[in-house]
Amino acid sequence: MPHAPEPDEDDLDGIAPPQPVFHVEQALLGALLLDPHRLGDVTGIAADSFSTAAHAALFAAISSLPPPDPTEHAKNTTWLDQVLASGRGQARGLTASYLHTLVQVCPWPRHTPAYARMVEAEHARRRLQRAAERLVQTIHDVSLPHPVQTVLAEADALAAVVDDIASRFPPRAGVLPRTPAPPPAIASDQTEAVEEEQLLLATATAHPADIDSVRWLLPDDLTLPLHAGLWQCLTTLARRREPVDPVTVLWEAQQRGLLDDGSNPGEVLRLLAEPAGSLEHWGERALQRSLLATADHTGRRIEAYAGDPANTPFQLVVGARRALADIGAVRTRWQHATGTVPPQRPRPAPTTRAGPPTTTAAHAAGTARATR
């Protein structure tokens, strides 16, 4: 988990709180320093749930040390000294004065469970944001030998994070993120995609009997509106069992208004008259691009949702699941296209400090979808 840089010993008390959760973490730690026995009321979080290295180190120290006798704790600072010594092993900048500050800023120690729940919620948002960022980074990693398999594996990891958050914060019906979704990304260089889609259309025109073998390919999988429209013309003519050649496709395109954007009929004819290779090969290439583009948009949508601290965990779960459904739809068609059989594997259980569950929802093992 990324932590804020460790502060110098002299200025730890003067850290400017980056987010409201910083105050929440201070209140929680202050409550536990005042009354260590309240640690039993804290569930669902671990040291890495905190936003700074200093706070994570303090919580780890508090959790690992035996609680002091309440009477002795009220008389001396022995246990606090032990916490400080243990915490300094992970965060050098911790000072006794900062522990005193934490105690002073805690308004109500009896609100410890509420503070812990807030820390858990903020940690869930950060986890979701990091998982979405990893998905987007994977999509744009040009060094991957098998991009689809790797991207789908990251999508599964993201879905596992969403499932874990949902088990802690069961979503409420109809609660959507307030954050606007980003528009789909537009590739800076579409030359390869355009050329391959032209070969797809020309090969389908030359071999219309093969169109039925690529029913998993949809018009929206193609990058250019003209190409998407021409593919729809081809599939329509093939379904009607009407003659298919460049001229009949051009006529169908005119009937659909595809030439209204100024497309040159002669260029469309030339495009449809230069077949090469296998229709299934070009179709699979187009579907792969569509899958990666869908995963990219999904990852950026979830990234935007998680990047807005105003969204609650309930909203994040609903929004993320709706976004992931888009990947699931393309993934199913990819499996049909490639003959992939989904393997069965459980999703990993969440890692938290030992304690009773934070909600009544059970943690169930998920079934991961196929990757190829």
pTM of the predicted model as reported, rounded to 2 decimal places = 0.80
Ramachandran class of 335: left when φ > 0, alpha when ψ lies in -120 to 50, beta otherwise: alpha
- What pLDDT does 331 receive? 96
C-alpha separations of 361 from 3, 240, 312, 353 in Å: 30, 51, 18, 17
- What pLDDT does 177 receive? 86
Output the 3-class SS for 205-272.
HHCHHHHHHHCCCCHHHCCCHHHHHHHHHHHHHHHHCCCCCHHHHHHHHHHCCHHHHCCCHHHHHHHH
- What pLDDT does 18 receive? 61
- What pLDDT does 99 receive? 95
- What pLDDT does 293 receive? 95
Residues 332, 370 contacting (CB under 8 angstroms): no
Q: What is the pLDDT along the chain (372 residues), one digit of tens a residue?
A: 444 445 444 455 554 546 899 999 999 999 999 999 999 999 999 999 999 999 999 999 999 999 999 999 988 999 999 999 999 999 988 999 999 999 999 999 999 999 999 999 999 999 999 999 999 999 999 999 999 999 999 999 999 999 999 999 987 766 788 888 888 776 656 889 999 999 999 999 999 999 999 999 999 999 999 999 999 999 999 999 999 999 999 999 999 999 888 889 999 999 999 999 999 999 999 999 999 999 999 999 999 999 999 999 999 999 999 999 999 999 999 999 998 655 544 554 544 444 433 333 333 333 333 333
